């Protein structure tokens, strides 16, 4: 009896992979550590201007954990790093292995810290990954619940000038594998106007104290395209 022919194995077509599944390995080189000096300078300026206490903290969307390491180096304890990407958290764990930082694998839309903290940061436009206003409002309520009374949150966002219609920008990152195959990651972010951010905080338990353009920390008006916000839990 002749052998039964085996059909050829189909070659898989390139498909999407979860965000940061592969870019985690090169994130610091491309963005994270390269932008850290500026991020730190902005934070320290806000800290000084508004007398933000650094006792306990959580960094939401912590990525590879560079800002977590910075907070620990300044003596903040405890410091929690939170991210939904296990690949980014793997890098963060390695970077913070000996400093006592703690990490949680959680989605920004369902934040549950083990206990309240005095400072909550959310940087590198992480909140722009929330594509509908209801998700942004949920995040701010979770931020307030995670903060101690009198605690602060610092977050930056890509903003759209007043009068410009809402839009979502989609970046498709092509990644080449060692075997010559390729795949891609899709990153979608929504740009919110400053009034939309203000409206999303209403009723959350947070009170906005400041909004500054990231460059130069000038007041973040309706025409700003990137803003760092400071809010307090009363």
pLDDT at 88 over 80: yes
pLDDT at 14 over 50: no
pLDDT at 222 over 70: no
Question: What is the C-alpha separation between 67 and 65, in angstroms, rounded?
Answer: 6
pLDDT at 180 over 90: no
> Residue 107's pLDDT is what?
94
* Strand 206-213 versus strand 226-233 pairing type: antiparallel
The mean pLDDT of the chain is 86
> Residue 4's pLDDT is what?
41
- Taking only Cα atoms into account, the Rg of the chain, rounded to an integer number of angstroms, comes to 20
Q: Hey, where are the domains in the chain?
A: 16-233
Q: What's the pTM value of the predicted model, to 2 decimals?
A: 0.85
Lowest mean pLDDT among 5-19, 89-103, 113-127: 5-19
> Residue 1's pLDDT is what?
45
**% of the chain exceeding 70 in pLDDT:** 80
> Residue 169's pLDDT is what?
85
CATH fold of 16-233 reads: Rossmann fold (3.40.50)
DSSP output for 71-83: HHHTT--SEEEEE
Per-residue b or e along 48-79, where b marks 16 or more CB atoms closer than 10 Å to that residue's CB:
eeeebeeebbbbbbbbbbbbbbbbbeeebebb
CA 32 to chain centre: 11
Question: Are the C-beta atoms of residues 200 and 30 closer than 8 Å to each other?
Answer: no
């Amino acid at each position: 009896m002749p052998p039964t022919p085996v059909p050829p194995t189909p070659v898989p077509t390139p498909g999407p992979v979860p965000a940061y599944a592969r870019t985690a390995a090169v994130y610091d080189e491309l963005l994270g550590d390269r932008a850290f000096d500026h991020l730190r300078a902005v934070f320290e300026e806000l800290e000084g201007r508004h007398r933000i206490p650094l006792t306990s903290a959580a960094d939401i969307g912590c990525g590879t954990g560079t800002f977590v390491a910075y907070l620990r180096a300044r003596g903040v304890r405890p410091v929690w790093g939170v991210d939904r990407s296990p690949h980014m958290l793997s890098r963060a764990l390695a970077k913070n292995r000996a400093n006592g930082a703690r990490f949680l694998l959680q989605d920004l839309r369902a934040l549950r810290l083990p206990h309240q903290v005095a400072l909550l940061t959310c940087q590198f436009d992480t909140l722009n990954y929330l594509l509908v206003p209801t998700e942004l409002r949920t995040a701010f309520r979770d931020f307030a619940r995670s903060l101690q009374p009198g605690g602060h949150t610092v977050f930056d966002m890509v903003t759209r000038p007043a009068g410009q219609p809402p839009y979502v920008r989609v970046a498709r990152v092509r990644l080449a594998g060692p075997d010559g195959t390729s795949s891609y990651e899709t990153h979608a972010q929504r740009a919110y106007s400053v009034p939309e951010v203000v409206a999303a905080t209403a009723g959350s338990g947070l009170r906005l104290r400041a909004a500054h353009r990231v460059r130069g920390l000038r007041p973040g008006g309706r025409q700003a395209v990137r803003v760092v916000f400071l809010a307090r839990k009363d």
